[in-house]
Structure 1
Amino acid sequence: MYYNNGPFILASGSPRRQDFMRWMGLDYTVESADIDESRCPGEAPEFYVCRLAREKGGAVASEHPESWVVSGDTVVCLDDDVLGKPENEEHAVEMLMRLSGRRHEVLSAWSILNLERGISENDFCRTAVTFTNFPESVARAYVATGEPLDKAGAYGIQYRGVALVQEITGSYSNVVGMPLAELMAALVRLGAVSAGGGDGRREA
């Protein structure tokens, strides 16, 4: 569907973000960045998630100034709390029970960098998700699958976790981990990718 114009690096170890790039037809390499993901005191969720996406991309772009570097980050917000990845199974159960029967927001940020061209763009998308009202036995059964342990908010909407979701308002891909429509539009606008045939070549 698309092809990239020059070297393209996905600065993320997330299998979901890697799937997105592969589905779009892009030829990319993966290089994860190891940064401090601690939230600054009083930092608003949207600033926090944008900063992490930007810092992840910046750490990789500094080593590859000629490449297009895309990075992202996702957090789940419940009231004033930011829910990242659970520390263990009990923490995952606790998160899920807090979300049960309630509406929360998922914020996913993206960053596009090409230092050689002086390009730096960073934004985020917000999606509202409402969970069904489920008992602790369901939360524990879900956690026992192992699926929630590497995901913000302790669930993945693209897999078994979809059974917990009653309603979604906004971008579905944003909840998975990357607002794909917004990201691809920006990549096209900046010249990082172009539309092409299914084999990655420009259509005649």
Structure 2
Amino acid sequence: MSRQIILASKSPRRKRLLEQIGVKFTVHESAYEEDMHAKDDPYELAKFLALKKAQDVARHYPDAIVIGADTFTVYQGKFVGKPKDAADAKSILQDFSGNSHEVVTGFAVIDTRTGEIVNGYGKAESFFRELTAEEIDAYIATGEPFDMAGAYGFMDKGAVLMAGVKGDFYSIIGLPITQVYLALKKMGVKFWEN
């Protein structure tokens, strides 16, 4: 019998990645309030936030596997989450223009039956091309930046802002999918090869 798998996120990009590898799951969005100051190290913060989100949802399911994730960017040593408003989005995109930044996605997979937890992160360096003021304003007007860490969507219109990626590009999308796949396999989830 297959186990219930819960995604503790409403992100359409995370849903798409899990569907891509054949995972059958239900969405239960976490109510955990993010604290971007909980840890100083970006990798530890990503793991911490993902774990807290997964734990928040896991308490509702005594026999399930829960997946939590959190994505943010790091630019010149500062954490950058989702923009607060259009002015914040513009400032972020102006900073990124012609520069690189790191995207970090923490993940946590919890087996609520056994208590087993796999907690890790993926990262990538994202390189932006030089953007014009008009491009930035037009992109902000699409509304896309407001649901994205770092104010751009790698898999959406924001793809044209980028010049390249180095590292785990699935982390930019919002889930280091290979690591999550391996964690799920470890917990007994069957995939196409079984």
1:156 corresponds, among 146, 153, 174, to 153
Gaps of 5+ in 1: none
Q: Secondary structure at the match of 1:161?
A: helix
Q: Secondary structure at the match of 1:196?
A: coil
Paired letter, 2:94? M
1:176 aligns with 2:173: yes
Q: Quote how far apart the aligned CAs of 1:41 are.
A: 6.2
Tell me the distance in 2 between the aligned counterparts of 1:62 and 1:47: 22
TM-score, normalization by structure 1: 0.90
Gaps of 5+ in 2: none
Percent pairwise identity:
29
Tell me the distance in 2 between the aligned counterparts of 1:25 and 1:41: 34
Tell me the distance in 2 between the aligned counterparts of 1:34 and 1:166: 35
Tell me the distance in 2 between the aligned counterparts of 1:195 and 1:40: 37
TM-score, normalization by structure 2: 0.95
1:106 corresponds, among 86, 103, 106, to 103
Q: Secondary structure at the match of 2:113?
A: helix
Runs of 4+ residues deviating >3 angstroms: none
1:126 aligns with 2:117: no
Tell me the distance in 1 between the aligned counterparts of 2:62 and 2:165: 38
Q: Quote how far apart the aligned CAs of 1:194 are.
A: 1.6
Q: Quote how far apart the aligned CAs of 1:181 are.
A: 1.4
What is the root-mean-square deviation in Å for CA atoms of aligned residues? 1.5
Q: Quote how far apart the aligned CAs of 1:187 are.
A: 1.3
When structure 1 is superposed on structure 2, of 176-185 and 68-77 the one drifting more is: 176-185
Tell me the distance in 1 between the aligned counterparts of 2:123 and 2:39: 19
Q: Quote how far apart the aligned CAs of 1:65 are.
A: 2.2
> Cα deviations across residues 78-115 of structure 1 (Å, max 9, x unaligned)?
01111000011111111100111101100001100012
Contact persistence 2:5–2:64 (CA under 8 A): yes
Give 1:46's aligned residue: 43
Give 1:73's aligned residue: 70
2:186 corresponds, among 182, 189, 192, to 189
Give 2:113's aligned residue: 116
> Cα deviations across residues 32-86 of structure 1 (Å, max 9, x unaligned)?
1111212226621111111110000001111112100001000100011110000
1:147 aligns with 2:144: yes
Q: Secondary structure at the match of 1:123?
A: strand
Q: Secondary structure at the match of 1:169?
A: strand
Tell me the distance in 2 between the aligned counterparts of 1:162 and 1:194: 33
Give 1:13's aligned residue: 10
2:91 corresponds, among 91, 94, 97, to 94
Contact persistence 2:97–2:130 (CA under 8 A): yes
> Cα deviations across residues 142-187 of structure 1 (Å, max 9, x unaligned)?
1111111110000011011111111110122110101111211221
Contact persistence 2:38–2:45 (CA under 8 A): no
